[in-house]
């Protein structure tokens, strides 16, 4: 699922939050310079001014912007914008104090100190944050992994457009040249650390088996468009961006936006607004906190029993594959013996999922006797994953993350399951859970969930999950 890019005031929330905090710090320092080492919030009038300052700051951000192009602004332009921002906030406070006829209750000297301290703090804070963002590049810093599909004459310029912007939201993980002549070396070169290939089969396999969030097609009109590559990317659930000079077949979810100077048509299996993403994440954070509290209580009861029945670690950790192929470590209460992973290979012949795309088995001998079945029946083993939810690796509702070996077997259309952040529960779990033995049915239900996703649907699935777990209808 793709979050729509927007030019709204939420885009630079990090700078907004920094300014909000530093304005309050400047207000407190101005008061202390005048009145000694005590905070101003003990006084009703100073508390009201502090609250007003926060509200004024948010109003200025909402109605006047001020953060557009902040990452590209030079030192002098940044200084002027900082002065303007502080001056408007200060003017708002002065007008408020005169309007309520309380100006004499607030120290004029403190109000004189405030704008100077605020300009220094906000300016230094913005510059330092921009330098920090510039240094922390790459997927590990939360950037979106992008593959470029372009032509032999344009691939260097396309890569340069992204790499020359130190604040880019994207990390270029590969590039494909679609007009490379047959019979010539398909592997072109490493250009600025980016692998460039002329083999469409190779780049398609790379997209399928690696962490790739999005693919940008920038194909000149004189070069034949790679329709097959484009359609297979959409089948995999990958978000595709198409430079508007070339339009392919329409998809249901499309939006025109700017990406590093290119005007593109972006298409995805589903798209979410900033507000929807915010509410889903807020729900995950709230659920993660509550879930971790419950996890602590469960640990007190089950941890000693697990250790007595099968000495070893209480938690089981395993690499899983998340949204768009991003790998992360999942954590569960251990419900199987220590050699479970080794014995899995011996038991594959008894797998209920005949194509081997998942592993489910009746009366699994690897499960710890006396405790394993109990914690799996009631999904207690899943509770430590609330930590993954809180970290952002997972969501409360999504698609179950496959193991690395399962993911490596995926066909193109199976990868659609990874177009959204994996979840503790999902549509197929509440539609039959362990009774479903056809992996294609799992993929169908997961794809249906992604295409029809909404906050309301997530809440319905969470409510159904409670009933399913209490009914002991198999592990999540």
The pLDDT of residue 139: 44
The pLDDT of residue 187: 56
The pLDDT of residue 250: 46
Q: If we measure between CA atoms, which residue out of 193, 181, 194, 184 comes closest to residue 153?
A: 181
The pLDDT of residue 377: 81
Write phi, then psi, for 247 (nearest 5 degrees).
Answer: -115, 125
The pLDDT of residue 138: 43
Task: Give CA–CA dist 316/5, Å, rounded.
Answer: 38
The pLDDT of residue 136: 61
CA distances from 129 to 26, 83, 135, 136 (A): 18, 18, 10, 11
The pLDDT of residue 428: 80
Q: How many Å is the maximal CA-CA distance in the chain?
A: 84
Question: Is domain 139-268 classified as CATH 3.40.50.720?
Answer: yes
CA distances from 302 to 292, 329, 354, 381 (A): 15, 22, 33, 10
The pLDDT of residue 244: 67
The pLDDT of residue 295: 93
What's this model's pTM, rounded to 2 decimal places? Answer: 0.60
Residue 279 burial class via C-beta count within 10 angstroms: exposed 0-12, middle 13-18, buried 19 and up: middle
Task: Profile the chain (476 residues) by mean pLDDT over runs of 10 residues.
Answer: 52 82 90 77 79 84 71 83 90 84 74 90 91 62 81 87 78 85 60 82 80 88 84 85 61 67 74 80 92 93 90 90 90 85 70 66 78 85 92 91 87 85 87 68 86 87 84 56
Two tokens, residue 196: 């460039």
Pair 197, 175: CB distance under 8 Å = yes
The pLDDT of residue 198: 77
The pLDDT of residue 412: 84
The pLDDT of residue 294: 93
The pLDDT of residue 252: 52
Each domain of the chain, given as residue ranges in start order, spans 2-135, 139-268, 274-470
């Amino acid at each position: 699922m793709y979050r729509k890019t927007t030019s709204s005031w939420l885009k630079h929330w990090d700078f907004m939050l920094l300014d909000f905090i530093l304005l309050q710090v400047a207000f407190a320092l101005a008061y202390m310079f005048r009145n000694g080492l005590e905070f101003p919030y003990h006084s009703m009038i100073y508390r009201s001014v502090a609250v007003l300052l926060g509200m004024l700051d948010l109003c200025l951000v909402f109605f006047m912007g001020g953060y557009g192009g902040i990452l590209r602004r030079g030192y002098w332009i940044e200084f002027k914008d900082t002065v303007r921002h502080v001056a408007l906030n200060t003017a708002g406070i002065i007008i408020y104090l005169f309007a309520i006829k309380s100006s004499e209750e607030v120290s004029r000297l403190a109000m004189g100190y405030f704008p100077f301290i605020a300009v220094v703090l906000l300016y230094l804070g913005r510059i330092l944050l921009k330098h920090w963002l510039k240094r922390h590049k790459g997927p590990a810093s939360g950037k979106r992994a992008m593959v470029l599909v372009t032509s032999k004459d344009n691939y260097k310029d396309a890569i340069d457009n992204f790499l020359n912007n130190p604040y880019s939201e994207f990390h270029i993980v590969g590039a494909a040249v679609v007009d490379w002549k047959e019979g010539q070396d398909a592997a072109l070169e490493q250009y600025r650390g980016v692998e460039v290939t002329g083999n469409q089969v190779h780049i398609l396999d790379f997209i399928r088996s690696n962490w790739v969030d999005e693919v940008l097609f920038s194909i000149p009109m004189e070069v034949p468009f790679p329709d097959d590559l484009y359609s297979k990317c959409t089948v995999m659930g990958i978000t595709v961006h198409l430079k508007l000079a070339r339009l392919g077949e329409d998809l249901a979810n499309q939006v025109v936006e700017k990406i590093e100077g290119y005007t593109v048509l972006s298409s995805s299996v589903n798209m979410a607004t900033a507000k929807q993403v915010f509410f889903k994440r807020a729900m995950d954070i709230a659920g993660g906190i509550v879930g971790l509290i419950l996890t602590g209580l469960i640990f007190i009861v089950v941890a000693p029993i697990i250790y007595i029945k099968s000495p070893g670690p209480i938690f089981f950790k395993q690499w899983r594959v998340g949204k768009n192929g991003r790998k992360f470590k999942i954590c569960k209460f251990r419900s199987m013996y220590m050699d479970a992973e080794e014995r899995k290979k011996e038991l594959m012949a008894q797998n209920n999922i005949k194509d081997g795309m998942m592993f489910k088995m009746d009366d699994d001998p690897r499960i710890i006797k006396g405790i394993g079945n109990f914690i799996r029946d009631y999904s207690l083993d899943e509770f430590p994953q609330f930590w993954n939810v809180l970290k952002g690796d997972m969501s409360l509702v999504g698609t179950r993350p496959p193991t690395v070996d399962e993911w490596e077997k995926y066909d193109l259309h199976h990868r659609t399951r990874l177009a959204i952040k994996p979840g503790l529960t999902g549509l197929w779990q509440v539609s039959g859970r362990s009774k479903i033995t056809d992996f294609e049915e799992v993929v169908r239900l997961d794809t249906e969930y992604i295409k029809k996703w909404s906050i309301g649907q997530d809440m319905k699935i969470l409510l159904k999950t409670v009933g399913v777990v209490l009914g002991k209808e198999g592990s999540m």
